[in-house]
Amino acid sequence: MKAVAHTGTDLASLVDLELPRPTPAGRDLLVKVEAVSVNPVDTKQRKAGSATPRVLGWDAAGTVAAVGNEATLFKPGDEVYYAGDVTRPGCDSEFHLVDERIVGRKPKTLDFAQAAAIPLTAITAWESFHDRMKVKAGGTILIIGGAGGVGSIAIQLAKLAGLRVIATASRPQTIEWCKQLGADEVVNHRESLTAQVKKPVEYVANFSGDLDSHWPAMAELVAPQGAVVAIVGNAKPLPMDVVRSKSATVCWELMFTRPRFKTSDMIEQHKLLNRVAELLDAGKLRGTLKETLSPINAANLRKAHEKLESGSMIGKLVLKGW
């Protein structure tokens, strides 16, 4: 089967190759991949290098080609979408093995490319709000990085949760994008957030790739007994006195935690992806796909990684077809 893998750390290390078609066992599905999306995890994993060719990619949509002997949730022919497991080979291949407990049914109203843009970001935002911060309707949330992949779906999910949304963006096109997605207010993350937001908010979600520089504002702006969540680590120790004095909850969200540690509630990702599909099909959520490249090959993945690393992405970028 066709695949794209890397060994080195630079863009040139992404190369086309042929790999054996895998066989599903246990609760695995063998998915015929139709479209894949790129995320910051792809570039971070590439930069870590690999001693042997490693397939990246953790966002896909496709059709179930075969199922393992313990699989019960799907059957061959079912159309699915999922983010996968970072401890296993990625989905930048014609056929891909994935545990059915972290797979959802593809939204009927979206094509494969549109569907591939959703899973990783939707899981991240959903878990941040409902599993980590446990948001309650009526509160206000500050979403840092509103126009990015996670931010784009997070604005919508926050509105559905009954929250007032303040999103951050810095360019005219990203400001407009956030407003189109439902943000009640947009502030500039390149300027003082405390000066712009002014009043404490119940929730702060940092969906940008920078925690350290935003931390002082996050700590200052979160309300007493509020909650903050971050999806990237800190480079330096974070001062905790301000959030500690407020008894604020500090959460980390990594959407790979459940599959990585095979948690007892791993199937929750299957359930939430199905719920997101229902919301998309009902028109209560809109897709976040902004750019498509075709076919799926090393040359286009190099372009996608380069675009992602430029910091200019709005929404999601997808590759489709082989």
Which conformational region is residue 52 in: left (phi greater than 0), alpha (psi within -120 to 50 degrees), or beta?
Answer: beta
Domain ranges of the chain: 2-118+260-320, 121-252
The correct answer on CATH 2.50.20.20 for the domain covering 121-252 is no
Beta strands, E only, 68-219? 79-82, 95-99, 103-105, 140-144, 164-168, 185-187, 201-206
pLDDT value at 313 more than 90: no
Q: Is the pLDDT of residue 311 over 90?
A: no
Confidence of residue 208 (pLDDT cuts 50, 70, 90): very high
Q: How far is CA 314 from CA 59, 148, 177, 289, in A?
A: 17, 5, 8, 9
Q: Is 53 exposed, middle or buried (0-12, 13-18, 19+ CB in 10 A)?
A: middle
Instruction: Quote the pLDDT of residue 30.
Output: 98
pLDDT digit string (tens) for 148-187?
999 999 999 999 999 999 999 999 999 999 999 999 999 9
Quickly state the pLDDT bin for 202 (edges 50, 70, 90). very high
Whether residue 59 has pLDDT greater than 90: yes
Q: Which pLDDT band, with edges at 50, 70 and 90, does 14 fall under?
A: very high
Q: In what order do the strands lie in the sheet with 185-187?
A: 185-187, 164-168, 140-144, 201-206, 222-230, 249-252
Percent of the chain with pLDDT over 90: 98
- Where in 50-111 does DSSP place strands (E)? 54-55, 60-67, 79-82, 95-99, 103-105
- Computed over every residue of the chain, the mean pLDDT equals 97
Query: What per-residue confidence (pLDDT) applies to 304?
Result: 96
Q: Tell me what pLDDT residue 65 has.
A: 98
Contact of 198 with 222, CB cutoff 8 Å: no
pLDDT of residue 74 exceeding 90, the answer is yes
pLDDT of res. 87: 96
What integer is the mean pLDDT of 42-48?
Answer: 94
Q: What's the pLDDT tens digit per position in 84-143?
A: 999 999 999 999 999 999 999 999 999 999 999 999 999 999 999 999 999 999 999 999
Query: Mean of the pLDDT values across residues 208-235?
Result: 97
For 241-296, the pLDDT digits (tens) are 999 999 999 999 999 999 999 999 999 999 999 999 999 999 999 999 999 999 99
How far apart are the C-alpha atoms of 159 and 88, rounded to whole Å? 34
Q: Which CATH superfamily is domain 2-118+260-320 in?
A: Medium-chain alcohol dehydrogenases, catalytic domain (3.90.180.10)
